[in-house]
């Protein structure tokens, strides 16, 4: 039986393992380095840069993108990715405008502490998360955003025998991170262990004057006296009071009820 040449070619092509088939050039391969990721510097023989490899712009961009993803993951900002200054409405209340301006200024120059105090729904968490997001995305600064009760649970996780990090490693990472955002101070379970660990973190950052943002809806008189004393030190801390009602209930009739 005589077979057509085209049919035979198709049969042979089908038998070739896919990993041995000729690879088509990917459309997304960098046209400059052809996918190598590096370029060889043009320099004469004898020059110290002769033969030296430098990263292509495509690799630099990929590395920066990866670093950003890692920073966002380490900063615990996944759930708060949409909380930015662009998505905050500063015009809905007078105190919201003042707090927005204070937070924006702090994000640009994170020196000292920022204390945001106000009822639930007034915008404290949004502004605190916006600071952390800008720190990571714009300034590429290692940051950590944690609701205070979750922060203490984050520490307790290290007591699990299967934990990949020790308590000391995690504690040091928290207290020394370049920017720490503590959301909802005062809502933690007030055990002696929790009070002591929280004080140790805050006291270290107070003594070393590390940038720290704290939000709370509690009467400051109910906060641990040692923490309150440091949080109200005007030489280090900028205090911002929000007296706005619950933003989530704006436009509704009747008194707004606080909720998270």
Q: What is the CATH number of the domain that holds 182?
A: 3.40.50.300
Name the token pair of 245: 């009602």
Residue 200 in domain: yes
Alpha-carbon span 50 to 56, nearest angstrom: 17
Per the structure, how many domains does the chain have?
1
Convert the pLDDT of each residue in 164-208 to its tens digit. 889 998 999 899 999 999 999 999 887 999 999 999 999 999 999
- 113 vs 119, 155, 176, 238, CA distance in Å? 20, 23, 14, 6
Residue 252 in domain: no
Residue 97 in domain: yes
The enclosing H or E element of 238 equals strand 237-241
Domain, as residue range, for 168: 66-246
68-72, 73-77, 202-206, 226-230 — which is least confidently predicted? 68-72
Confidence of residue 247 (pLDDT cuts 50, 70, 90): confident
Residue 260 in domain: no
pTM above 0.75, yes or no: no
Convert the pLDDT of each residue in 113-140 to its tens digit. 999 999 999 999 999 999 999 998 888 8
């Amino acid at each position: 039986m005589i077979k057509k040449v085209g049919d035979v070619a198709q049969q042979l092509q089908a038998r070739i393992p896919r990993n041995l088939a000729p690879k088509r050039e990917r459309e997304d391969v960098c046209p400059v380095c052809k996918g190598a990721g590096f370029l060889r510097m043009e320099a004469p023989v004898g020059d110290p840069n002769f033969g030296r490899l430098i990263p292509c712009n495509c690799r630099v961009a990929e590395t920066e993108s990866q670093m950003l993803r890692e920073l966002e993951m380490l900063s615990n900002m996944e759930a708060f990715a949409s909380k930015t200054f662009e998505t905050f409405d500063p015009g809905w209340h007078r105190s919201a405008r003042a707090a927005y301006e204070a937070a924006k200024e702090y994000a640009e120059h994170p020196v000292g502490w920022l204390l945001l105090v106000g009822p639930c729904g007034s915008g404290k968490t949004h502004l605190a998360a916006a600071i952390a997001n800008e720190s990571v995305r714009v300034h590429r600064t290692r940051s950590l955003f944690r609701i205070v009760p979750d922060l203490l649970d984050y520490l307790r996780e290290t007591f699990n025998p299967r934990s990949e990090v020790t308590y000391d490693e995690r504690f040091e990472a928290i207290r020394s991170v370049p920017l720490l955002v503590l959301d909802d101070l005062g809502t933690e379970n007030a055990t002696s262990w929790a009070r002591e660990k929280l004080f140790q973190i805050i006291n270290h950052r107070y003594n070393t004057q590390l940038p720290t943002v704290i939000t709370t809806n509690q009467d400051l008189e109910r906060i641990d006296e040692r923490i309150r004393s440091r949080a109200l030190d005007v030489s280090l801390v900028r205090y911002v009071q929000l007296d706005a009602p619950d933003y989530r209930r704006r436009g509704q009739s009747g008194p707004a009820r606080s909720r998270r």
